Amino acid sequence: MTTIAPPALTEGRLARDLRLTFVHFRVQLVEMLRTPMAVIGNLVFPSVALLFFVVPQQAIASDPLLATSATAQLSAFAIASTCMFTFGLGVAEDRDKPFFPYLRTLPVGAVPPLAGRVLNGILWSFIALVPLALVGGLLTEATLSWGRLLPTLLAVVGVATPFTLLGLAIGYSMSTKAAIAVVQVSLFPLAFAGGMFMPPEIFPRWLDVLSSYTPTRGARELFVSAATGAPLDAHFAFVLAAWILVFATLVTIAFRRDEGRNFK
Amino acid sequence: MTTPSAAVGTAQDAERQPAVVEVREVTRTFGPVTALDGVSLSVEPGQLVGLLGPNGAGKTTLLSLLSGLRRPDSGTVRIFGGDPRDPAARASLGTTPQETGLPDVLRVGEVVELVARHYPDPMPTGELLERFALGDMLRRQTGSLSGGQKRRLAVALALVGRPRLVLLDEPTTGLDVEARHELWSALRTFHSEGATVVVTSHYLEEIEALAERVVVVGQGRILADDSLSRILATVARRKVLVSLDEAAATELSVALPAVSAPAREGDRFSFLAADADALVRQLVRSGLPFSDLEVRGASLEEAFITLTQESR
């Protein structure tokens, strides 16, 4: 069979995908910046939780280690929540719009638009931490030493990645209405079981065992360890890495199977 | 990025250029609905093909297979010899968003730029927008455009990458007459520059204005595939309405060739006829009692129904 060679694509595949990743990242960012209400709710809730539940408790707020841990676990929640809402719902809503299938007809593979979204998830996660850092730093004894700054920044990426992927898997496999329900029903129980609201040290034994296999617990431990300098149990690193693999696989399957809106 | 099959010579030195579009025995169902039923279609470089058919005929499904959005249940779909699900095969493809669905908060210039970045030699944004009379809309958010402006921008997006194959699904739906003619003229210009164009419509007028070859689709199958003039002759039907008794109506329809079976419409019977004069002459000559005679042009939908029945 004769093929008319496509005229394009003289640049290397990797260079092209990287360039297009940035193109999609920028457009998605511009869209979000112009509809800020979508993200503001998620930014506010964790700092309000910190303000109401941690700041008034002198035993925690005045102890640097406990206050830092409390701020760190709510930070992990802020990141997880930002990613799940922004991407779980954001993608499901996008798929309801006719522009989304149009973008899929452009000569671009699955990766660049997806990677652009993951970069956005990471960026918004950093933004979500700003109010938390202010409340924790100004109103409690929570501190972040200069030496813990880099590990903490890296931990943001480590927490944002699995939850962005999970959000995308949800967003690509169901309608907006179903995605809202699934995100709401799964996020809060997972966050609670993962020790993002209450420290796992006070969990009963059975809940602690269950908790130690959840992605939220892995994320929480990673973030607390990065912020406080406490050693990270290898078990949690392994569990988190395993969940990243699972969620990445789910996204890939959901993306490949997606043909835009489902007509039934 | 390379295409999976080995290229045998370039497009220029190949004596017979491969088809731009090659669809073979394609079937696609959505649950209980068969949208395409064993469709085969081949489009040669430079053709301007109109896909004509009523809503739900399978036109949009066929385009979604060609643009790589959907996979056929069986059969093969190729554009430029490659699988349209492969991004490299879509390097010379241009399509439009449906229902003028553009991201509301993005500016016109930003949307065009986004699309342009995917092609190696895009049309300059200014030139493209001028072509579609959107020159001064560059900094406007798409949500603030009028329906006609959105529609023009949507079609403009199909041409950003200087594609060699353009797929347009109902490009002028909802436009007023003047805007429609402007858009047609822009499309004809683009086609004259060498692009292959496939356009769907359920307006005969649109197909008449644009297409050289017409493919009539109905109930998931290709009912006719011919030059514009011959298709026009086939679908040009007259509708004859008359009040008479049922036995007489049946007798009348079988007495003449190319007359549809009578359909009850209120207290009258209706017939679709290629030659309405002959039908009326036959009616008068037969001496059957009748009243309330009316002759008018049949709609395209009505003509399709006859085509569908005749192809059985």
B241 and B226 part of one domain: no
Picking from B208, B233, B258, the residue at the C-terminal end of a domain is: B233
Contacts of B103 in chain A (CB under 8 A): 31, 97, 99
The reported pLDDT for the residue numbered A262 is 41
Contacts of A34 in chain B (CB under 8 A): 105-106
- Residues A144 and A152: their CA atoms lie apart, in Å, by 9
Residue B118 and residue A102 in contact, taking contact as beta carbons nearer than 8 Å: no
C-alpha dist (Å) from residue B271 to B203, B204, B245, B281, B301: 22, 21, 14, 14, 14
- Residues A31 and B111: their CA atoms lie apart, in Å, by 11
The reported pLDDT for the residue numbered B264 is 85
- Assigned domain for B2 exists: no
pLDDT digits (tens, 9 = 90+) for B15-53: 456 789 999 999 999 888 889 999 999 999 999 999 988
Average pLDDT over residues B193-199: 92
B78 and B117 part of one domain: yes
- Assigned domain for B6 exists: no
C-alpha dist (Å) from residue A5 to B68, B117, B159: 18, 20, 19
Can you give the pTM of this predicted structure? 0.77
- Assigned domain for B3 exists: no
Contacts of B101 in chain A (CB under 8 A): 97-99, 102
* CB–CB contact A98 B97 (8 Å): yes
Q: Which two tokens stand for residue A92?
A: 């499901």
Contacts of B55 in chain A (CB under 8 A): none
- Assigned domain for B1 exists: no
Mind listing the pLDDT tens digit of every residue in chain A (264 residues)? 444 444 445 678 889 999 999 999 999 999 888 877 766 777 788 888 888 888 888 888 899 999 999 999 999 999 999 888 878 887 888 788 888 889 989 998 878 887 888 888 888 888 889 999 999 999 999 888 898 999 999 999 999 989 989 998 999 888 889 998 999 899 999 999 999 998 998 999 999 999 999 999 999 999 999 999 999 999 999 999 999 999 999 988 887 777 654 433
pLDDT digits (tens, 9 = 90+) for B120-151: 999 999 999 998 889 899 999 999 998 888 98
- How much is the ipTM here? 0.77
Instruction: Give the structural domain span for B138.
Output: 17-233
The reported pLDDT for the residue numbered A38 is 66
B80 and B214 part of one domain: yes
- Assigned domain for B278 exists: yes
B64 and B203 part of one domain: yes
- Residue B114's pLDDT band, with cuts at 50, 70 and 90, is very high
- Residue B309's pLDDT band, with cuts at 50, 70 and 90, is low
Q: Which residues of A22-31 are buried (b: 16+ CB within 10 A; e: fewer)?
A: ebbbbbbeeb
B155 and B243 part of one domain: no
The CATH number assigned to the domain holding B264 equals 3.30.70
- Assigned domain for B10 exists: no
- Closest residue in chain B to residue A33, using alpha carbons only: B105
Query: In A, residues 26-85, which contact B (CB 8 Å cutoff)?
Result: 27, 30-31, 34-35
- Closest residue in chain A to residue B116, using alpha carbons only: A106
- Assigned domain for B4 exists: no
B229 and B244 part of one domain: no
B222 and B246 part of one domain: no
CB atoms within 10 A of CB A111: 16
Q: Does B117 touch chain A (CB under 8 A)?
A: yes
Average pLDDT over residues B258-271: 83
CA torsion B64-A179-A163-A233 (nearest 10°) is -130
Find the CB nearest A31 among B8, B70, B106: B106
The CATH number assigned to the domain holding B165 equals 3.40.50.300
pLDDT of B248 strictly over 60 = yes
Find the CB nearest A109 among B87, B97, B106: B87
B42 and B114 part of one domain: yes
- Assigned domain for B29 exists: yes
- Please provide residue A133's backbone torsions phi and psi, each rounded to the nearest 5 degrees: -65, -35
Could you tell me which of B127, B170, B173, B178 has the C-alpha nearest to residue B147? B173
What lies within 8 Å, CB to CB, of B294 at 6+ separation is B240, B241, B242, B268
Picking from B205, B233, B261, the residue at the C-terminal end of a domain is: B233
* CB–CB contact B68 A105 (8 Å): yes
Residue in A30, A99, A256, A261 to test binding to B, most B beta-carbons within 10 Å? A99
Q: Does B257 touch chain A (CB under 8 A)?
A: no
B163 and B183 part of one domain: yes
* CB–CB contact A3 B3 (8 Å): yes
Contacts of A102 in chain B (CB under 8 A): 95-98, 101, 157
Q: Measured between CA atoms, how close is B89 to chain A, in angstroms?
A: 7
Contacts of B18 in chain A (CB under 8 A): 1-4
Taking one residue from A and the other from B, the number of pairs with CB-CB distance under 8 angstroms is 126
Q: Does A138 touch chain B (CB under 8 A)?
A: no
The reported pLDDT for the residue numbered A259 is 60
Find the CB nearest B7 among A5, A10, A19: A5
Q: Does B30 touch chain A (CB under 8 A)?
A: yes
CB atoms within 10 A of CB B229: 11
Contacts of A109 in chain B (CB under 8 A): 87
Contacts of B1 in chain A (CB under 8 A): 6, 9, 13, 16
Q: Measured between CA atoms, how close is A10 to chain B, in angstroms?
A: 8
B295 and B177 part of one domain: no
Q: Does A15 touch chain B (CB under 8 A)?
A: no
Query: In B, residues 145-174, which contact A (CB 8 Å cutoff)?
Result: 157, 161
Picking from B199, B233, B267, the residue at the C-terminal end of a domain is: B233
Contacts of A30 in chain B (CB under 8 A): 105-106, 110
B189 and B254 part of one domain: no
* CB–CB contact B96 A106 (8 Å): no
Q: Measured between CA atoms, how close is A128 to chain B, in angstroms?
A: 23
The reported pLDDT for the residue numbered B219 is 85
* CB–CB contact A98 B117 (8 Å): no
What lies within 8 Å, CB to CB, of A23 at 6+ separation is A112, A116, B114, B117, B118
| Domain count for chain B | 2
Residue B62 and residue B217 in contact, taking contact as beta carbons nearer than 8 Å: yes
- Taking all residues of chain B, what is their mean pLDDT, rounded to a whole number? 85
* CB–CB contact A106 B90 (8 Å): yes
* CB–CB contact B117 A264 (8 Å): no
Contacts of B117 in chain A (CB under 8 A): 19-20, 23
Could you tell me which of A251, A21, A218, A191 has the C-alpha nearest to residue A120? A21
B125 and B182 part of one domain: yes
